[in-house]
Amino acid sequence: MNPEASRVCLSFLLSLALLLILSCNGNSSSPSENSGNHTQPNEQEQAVSLAYEYLYDSMDRHFQTFSVYTDADAGGNHFAPSGYFNGTTSLEINTRWTENPYSGTSCIQVVWNGTPGNDGWSWNGLLFEEPQGYLGQPTGNGYDLTGATTLTFWARTDEPGLKVQFGMGHVNDASGEKKQWFELGLHWKKYEIDLTGIDLSNVHGGFLFVVNNDNDPDPDGTVFYIDEIAYDLTRPDALRLIPSFTTVTDTDSFDIENKNLATIYDNALAILALLERDTEKDLSRAGILADALIFANENDTNVVPLNWPFAPPPFSSSRLKDGYSTGDLKDAQGNFRYPGWWDYDEKMWKMHDLALSYRTGDLAWAMIALTGLYEVTGKQAYLTTVEEMGEWIVSNCERAGSEINGGYKGGWVWSWNQLAWQESGVSTEHNIDLAAAFGELAVLTGDAVWQTRSDSARSFVEAMWNTDEAYFYTGLNTDSAISDVNVLDVQAWAAMLFQTEPYWSSLDWSEANLSPDGLYFDFNDDLDGTWYEGIAHMAAAFRARGDEEKAVALLDILRNAQASGPNVNGQGIPGADTYSLTTGLSWNYYDRLSLGTTCWFLIAESGVNPF
């Protein structure tokens, strides 16, 4: 190559190298310049995907099989362990035995003392029956378990050589009784009973066991344990609601009282989150949840359960209650299943107070979710139900007046301590929710009366604005005095409702007063921990205001909580970073995986403003 050509080639190569260097510098920033500590896009997508997995897994928790027992008071349990074959004196059943369960948080402990039963012979057993009391009075419906082919359970004993007869059915069932003897060992073992060819269309006896002296090496009786009793029957399309929490023990009071709780607020958020991703499977699941709300609204017509022994409710008719049980909405008799727990001290079943409560804000969120799904599907039942809910709120909770004297009351909450309903004050948060719900109804129906009602709720919220300090009061107490408890969700939600100044300033006030650093927000101003759901509220609000950097920083905190927070599984997000985060109100938040927190994370990630 001649010298001139060499110079031209060298010049070209140098220019190309310089262009490549400049290109790299122009399109690739250092971590400190661009990403800081923020999660990278692929990690963001993974966190979102895992959060949706939490929704799916929680929704299917009790529907992969037809369970007789998984844990004490689990929402997926069926059949009552109440049918004693030979009297109650020789047999003791503890369905909340927490020492060494096979899985979950508890198992069943059976203690038989070996003494003769009612018939004078040394044997006894138990039928898990539907309905309760069927063994003594065989009336009522059983469960249709058609399609199941196997009954499985796990068992162990403290006494080697013990033989127990296990089975299912009742002599009145089309299936008859299917029973066989098994020898138990010291370690958990899975046992199966083949049900092939058996008519399972009306099963009253879901599970049974029998012990006797002939098969017990110890004449003084025996102890054995049972866990995970289930039929191999999946029900992917069954109407249901998602558990509000993933509890972790069967000894802690919060876990015991909230294990089978599914609130309509949390499930409304789940519908909204599923609508945002908008896959075919998401829409199908959103429809199942929405149809469950419709079904409850149409069929749960009793304000209180039958034979209610306490004070009657101070309001007319019934609407959706704040909470229902996880698992099936109804039992085989058609009775609604409400969340609660067996109180061993008082020897009674206690319904969760939310199953006896009617709060306007929770109803408003159900309305928001159903109108959102109506806009996607056009299913008229959704819109009709929303209108019915709205009319109930107006009839029972509307206040006469305007501004601070207008809006809507918070509803009624049952108190087990006072054995009476307590009327809520006037909540700023609830009126924010109603302003959004009624406003959407006005748009969808074209009926101006809903806009008037929305304006009434909005005017109350505006009357709660503290002009001097630029934040919203929480609302009015029952004595009509302004609450002195200042809380985070009101600030974020009101800002998203109005989307204008001066109300955007409530976000800045929250940074200064409800967080030690502008990132880790508490529910109120005592700063005794981090409220992760509130962080999601603020992320959504900052994103609505256009403060993307702040929103991303808060979402990073939630992703970290998803990965390494308390009691995590890598999918859901806890409600708080500490046990019993105080609020200054009548409830606290807990470090348990929370459906509401996880859904608000997804809503904030999507950038949608639900108001």
Q: What is the pLDDT of residues 285-327, one digit of tens each?
A: 999 999 999 999 998 887 777 778 887 777 767 779 999 999 9
404: DSSP letter: G
Give the Cβ contact number of residue 512 at 10 Å: 11
Judged against a pLDDT cut of 60, whether residue 445 lies above it is answered with yes
Pairing status of strand 323-325 against strand 261-263: antiparallel
Judged against a pLDDT cut of 70, whether residue 436 lies above it is answered with yes
113: DSSP letter: -
Nearest Cα residue to 610 out of 532, 529, 513, 541: 541
Question: Global pTM?
Answer: 0.91
Decide if 496 contacts 610 (C-beta within 8 A). Answer: yes
> Which runs of E-coded beta strand occur in 319-404?
323-325, 340-343, 348-351, 358-359
Q: Which residue has the higher pLDDT, 400 or 27?
A: 400
Which domains occur in the chain, in start order?
38-64+501-611 (no CATH), 66-231 (2.60.120.430), 239-463 (no CATH)
What is the chain's mean pLDDT, rounded?
Answer: 92
- β-strand partners of 611: none
Judged against a pLDDT cut of 80, whether residue 8 lies above it is answered with no
What percent of the chain has a predicted confidence (pLDDT) above 90? Answer: 82
With cut-offs at 50, 70 and 90, classify the pLDDT of residue 433.
Answer: very high
Which residues lie below 8 Å from residue 26, measured CB to CB, with a gap of 6+? none
- Give me the pLDDT at residue 599, please: 98
Judged against a pLDDT cut of 50, whether residue 14 lies above it is answered with no
Q: Which residue has the higher pLDDT, 219 or 316?
A: 219
User: Could you give the CA distance from residue 160 to residue 267 in angstroms, rounded to a whole number?
Assistant: 47
Q: Is 413 helix (H, G, I), strand (E, B) or coil?
A: strand
Judged against a pLDDT cut of 90, whether residue 21 lies above it is answered with no
- Least confident segment among 16-30, 127-141, 564-578: 16-30
DSSP string, 544-606: HHT-HHHHHHHHHHHHHHHHHSTT--SSSEESBSSTTB--SSS--B-SSEEHHHHHHHHHHHH
Whether omega before 219 lies within 30 degrees of 0, making that bond cis, reads no
- Give me the pLDDT at residue 5, please: 42
Mean predicted confidence (pLDDT) in 120-133:
96
- Give me the pLDDT at residue 588, please: 97
End-to-end CA distance of the chain: 73
For 359-416, what is each residue's pLDDT tens digit? 999 999 999 999 999 999 999 999 999 999 999 999 999 998 889 999 999 998 888 8
SS3 per-residue string spanning 376-394: HHCCHHHHHHHHHHHHHHH
Please name the helix (run of DSSP H) or strand (run of DSSP E) that holds residue 286, with its range, or none.
Answer: helix 280-299
- Give me the pLDDT at residue 130, please: 97
Which residues lie below 8 Å from residue 132, measured CB to CB, with a gap of 6+? 80, 82
With cut-offs at 50, 70 and 90, classify the pLDDT of residue 37.
Answer: low
What percent of the chain has a predicted confidence (pLDDT) above 70? Answer: 93
- β-strand partners of 553: none
- Give me the pLDDT at residue 419, please: 83
Decide if 228 contacts 152 (C-beta within 8 A). Answer: yes
- Least confident segment among 161-165, 352-356, 587-591: 352-356
Judged against a pLDDT cut of 60, whether residue 1 lies above it is answered with no
Mean predicted confidence (pLDDT) in 333-359:
90
Judged against a pLDDT cut of 50, whether residue 464 lies above it is answered with yes
User: Could you give the CA distance from residue 169 to residue 188 in angstroms, rounded to a whole number?
Assistant: 24
- Give me the pLDDT at residue 12, please: 40
With cut-offs at 50, 70 and 90, classify the pLDDT of residue 38.
Answer: low
- Give me the pLDDT at residue 208, please: 98
With cut-offs at 50, 70 and 90, classify the pLDDT of residue 35.
Answer: very low
With cut-offs at 50, 70 and 90, classify the pLDDT of residue 39.
Answer: low
SS3 per-residue string spanning 200-240: CCCECEEEEEEEEHHHCCCCCCEEEEEEEEEECCCCCCCCC
Mean predicted confidence (pLDDT) in 511-525:
98
Judged against a pLDDT cut of 50, whether residue 239 lies above it is answered with yes
Rounded to 5 degrees, φ, ψ at 400 are -85, 115
Give me the half-sphere count of Cα atoms (radius 13 Å) on the Cβ side of residue 39: 22
For 572-599, what is each residue's pLDDT tens digit? 999 999 999 999 998 999 999 999 999 9
Judged against a pLDDT cut of 70, whether residue 19 lies above it is answered with no
- Give me the pLDDT at residue 303, please: 76
Which residues lie below 8 Å from residue 246, measured CB to CB, with a gap of 6+? 58, 567, 569, 572, 592, 593
